[in-house]
Amino acid sequence: MTYGYIRVSTDKQTVDNQKYEIEQFCLKNNIKIEKWIKETISGNKLPEKRLLGSLLAIVKADDLIICSELSRLGRSLFMIMSILNQLMLNNVRIWTIKDNYRLGDNIQSKVLAFAFGLSAEIERELISRRTKEALARKRAEGMVLGRPCGRKSTCVKLSGYEQEIKMLLDKKVSKSAIGRIYGVNRMTVASFVKQRLII
């Protein structure tokens, strides 16, 4: 499947120029666009909040996306690299016209794949190191890390219903009946009433 992707930032801009550019490119290269994706939204928005996110979710191996330039995918280099990496992992090709970029089975893509892998490995190492340093500092300051042994969560299934439960108890509704109302066991109600001192 071949997709034509067009994005403009504001309503004042038109998609016509990009569409014409892609159509002329396809005409010269004997390519037929089977589906157009056109959107008017800032490139700063995450792909998931754009039509681009929907496109990335449906493309399959050997599909081709054609757009006028890489900047149509996103504003930041990190976002563009992340999108390209996702496409590359799914063996989806992307071609751009202005910057003549070709993501596919070629040396350029293999170099890019190496760069992605190296960047991800460095980032993971930095995150791990920062986390270990922060934990070591907190231990040195005497802080006990982790949840204390045997401590129970303060938020349970009946949390937030204290007033309603008190009102039901005041009306002499049994704990078994209250349990059925809230979908819990009678003992859960009894324990909750005791812990929260609902009288």
Q: How far apart are CA 133 and CA 30, in angstroms?
A: 57
Q: How far is CA 96 from the centre of its chain?
A: 25
70: three-class secondary structure by DSSP: helix
- How does pLDDT run across 109-158, given as a tens digit for each residue? 767 666 766 666 677 788 788 888 888 888 888 877 766 665 555 556 78
Q: What single-letter amino acid sits at 35?
A: K
Q: Per-residue pLDDT for 178 more than 90? A: no
Give the model's confidence band at 104: pLDDT under 50 very low, under 70 low, under 90 confident, else very high: confident
Percent of the chain at pLDDT > 70 equals 85
Split at pLDDT 50, 70, 90, the class of 65 is: very high
The lowest-confidence range among 31-40, 43-52, 154-163, 174-183 is 154-163
Question: Within the chain, where are the H helices?
Answer: 16-28, 51-58, 77-89, 107-140, 162-170, 175-182, 186-195
9 CB-side CA count, 13 A: 7
Classified by CATH at the fold level, domain 2-111 comes out as Rossmann fold (3.40.50)
